[in-house]
């Protein structure tokens, strides 16, 4: 069965860059790519009590514009990519971006969402835009891969996986990180920002479980201390010129907090590599 990848786009340069990254990342994999544009209609808010309906002049005009943009995107991609393993589908929809993504994930049993980190209206000073943070916080049905603006695709050779060892790992949570590592022969660097003098029994047990899950993959364990989490991750990634950062998105955990707006924005100032948010999904 083909891998099903959802690519939200607002037709910005950043969104196109994320599309190209996804196409290159899965170059050797049979994929169905779904291009989603959540369009708006002038004069209506997305939560309007009397939303425009299909058949309305304003609705049909906005949908036609969305379809034209999506078809232009397909033409652009096909000029640069004639991969017989890849099939493209377009999906214009009138909805909020998050709801449109969640609906499409359910409708097409999507495996992975790949998106840019900033849209047309993104502030230049921030790596992660509001939409990206909303999506990474709100989508729990499948992993989300966020690709920074202007990041040029290189086959990932090193994936950094930060952890505090306080949560039990499930192999299915890590599947997409492991799949990418296998696909590109990437080395997985497990990073622990040390807060305690030594790991407790539960942490030791979780570290052993993680070691078992990573068996058969090139990996190593690293420890940093006397440094804040976001600064430690940023310094580690920057010093090693790592290619991807992966973490498990669980609420109320150490790494769930990485998605808090201040921390995501702060992380964005330190480095700019693709960020893979993993979930306990299907």
Task: Give the model confidence (pLDDT) of 91-134 as tens digits.
Answer: 999 888 899 999 999 999 999 999 988 654 444 444 456 677 77
Same domain, 9 and 137: yes
Residue 237 domain flag: yes
For residues 51 and 49, give the distance between their C-alpha atoms in angstroms, rounded to a whole number: 6
Among 147, 179, 205, identify where a domain stops: 147
Residue 196 domain flag: yes
Give the per-residue pLDDT at 123. Answer: 46
Residue 252: CA atoms inside 13 Å, Cβ hemisphere, count? 0
Is the pLDDT at 268 greater than 80, yes or no? no
The whole-number average pLDDT for the span 127-148 is: 80
Q: How confident is the model at residue 135 (pLDDT cuts 50, 70, 90)?
A: confident
Among 147, 182, 200, identify where a domain stops: 147
Same domain, 52 and 109: yes
Paired sense of beta strands 275-278 and 144-147, if any: antiparallel
Same domain, 130 and 192: no
Percentage of the chain lying above the pLDDT 90 cut: 49
The whole-number average pLDDT for the span 233-248 is: 89
Give the per-residue pLDDT at 279. Answer: 78
Residue 245's φ and ψ, nearest 5 degrees, are -120, 125
Same domain, 128 and 90: yes
Angle at which helix 130-138 crosses helix 97-108, to 10 degrees, equals 40
Among the residue ranges 134-138, 199-203, 253-257, the one predicted with the least confidence is 253-257
The whole-number average pLDDT for the span 232-243 is: 89
In the chain, count H helices and then E strands.
8, 10
Same domain, 192 and 239: yes
Among 98, 121, 147, identify where a domain stops: 147
Residue 153 domain flag: no
Question: Which among 217, 145, 210, 212 is positioned nearest to 178, based on CA atoms?
Answer: 217
- What letter would DSSP give residue 217? S
- The structure tokens listed for 267 are 């992380």
- Give bridge partners of residue 134 from the DSSP assignment: none
The whole-number average pLDDT for the span 174-183 is: 96
Residue 70 domain flag: yes
Same domain, 28 and 76: yes
Is the pLDDT at 80 greater than 50, yes or no? yes
Considering its fold, how many domains does the chain have in total?
2
Question: Which among 120, 100, 119 is positioned nearest to 110, based on CA atoms?
Answer: 100
Q: What is the pLDDT of residues 23-54, one digit of tens each?
A: 999 999 999 999 999 988 876 666 666 677 77
Q: Is the pTM of this model over 0.85?
A: yes
Q: At CA 279, angle to CA 115 and CA 142, rounded to 5?
A: 50
Same domain, 271 and 221: yes
For residues 40 and 119, give the distance between their C-alpha atoms in angstroms, rounded to a whole number: 15
Residue 8's φ and ψ, nearest 5 degrees, are -70, 140
Is the pLDDT at 159 greater than 90, yes or no? yes
Same domain, 92 and 168: no
Is the pLDDT at 60 greater than 80, yes or no? yes
Structural domain containing residue 242: 158-278
Same domain, 110 and 203: no
Paired sense of beta strands 187-194 and 112-116, if any: unpaired
Using an 8 Å Cβ cutoff, are 167 and 206 in contact?
yes
The whole-number average pLDDT for the span 226-241 is: 86
Give the per-residue pLDDT at 140. Answer: 86
């Amino acid at each position: 069965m083909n891998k099903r990848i959802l690519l939200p786009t607002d037709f910005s340069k950043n969104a196109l860059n994320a599309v190209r990254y996804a196409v290159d990342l899965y170059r050797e994999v049979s994929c169905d790519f779904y291009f989603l544009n959540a369009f708006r209609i002038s004069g209506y808010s997305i939560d309007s009590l009397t939303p425009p309906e299909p058949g309305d002049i304003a609705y049909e005009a906005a949908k036609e514009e969305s379809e034209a943009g999506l078809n232009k995107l397909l033409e652009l991609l096909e000029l640069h990519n004639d991969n017989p393993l890849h099939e493209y589908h377009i999906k214009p929809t009138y909805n909020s971006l998050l709801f449109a993504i969640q609906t499409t994930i359910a409708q097409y049993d999507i495996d992975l969402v790949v998106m840019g980190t900033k849209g047309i209206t993104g502030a230049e000073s921030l790596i992660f835009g509001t939409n990206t943070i909303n999506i990474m916080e709100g989508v729990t049905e499948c992993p989300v891969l966020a690709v920074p603006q202007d990041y040029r695709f290189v086959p990932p050779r090193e994936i950094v996986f930060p952890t505090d060892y306080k949560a039990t790992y499930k192999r299915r949570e890590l599947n997409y990180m492991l799949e990418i590592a296998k696909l590109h022969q990437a080395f997985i660097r497990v990073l622990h920002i040390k807060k305690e003098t030594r790991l407790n029994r539960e942490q030791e047990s979780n570290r052993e479980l993680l070691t078992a899950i990573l068996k058969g993959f090139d990996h190593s364990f690293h420890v940093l201390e006397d440094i804040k989490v976001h600064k430690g991750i940023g310094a580690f990634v920057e010093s090693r010129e790592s290619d991807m950062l992966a973490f498990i998105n669980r609420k109320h955990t150490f790494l769930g907090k990485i998605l808090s707006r201040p921390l995501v924005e702060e992380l964005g100032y330190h480095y700019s590599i693709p960020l893979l948010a993993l979930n306990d999904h299907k």
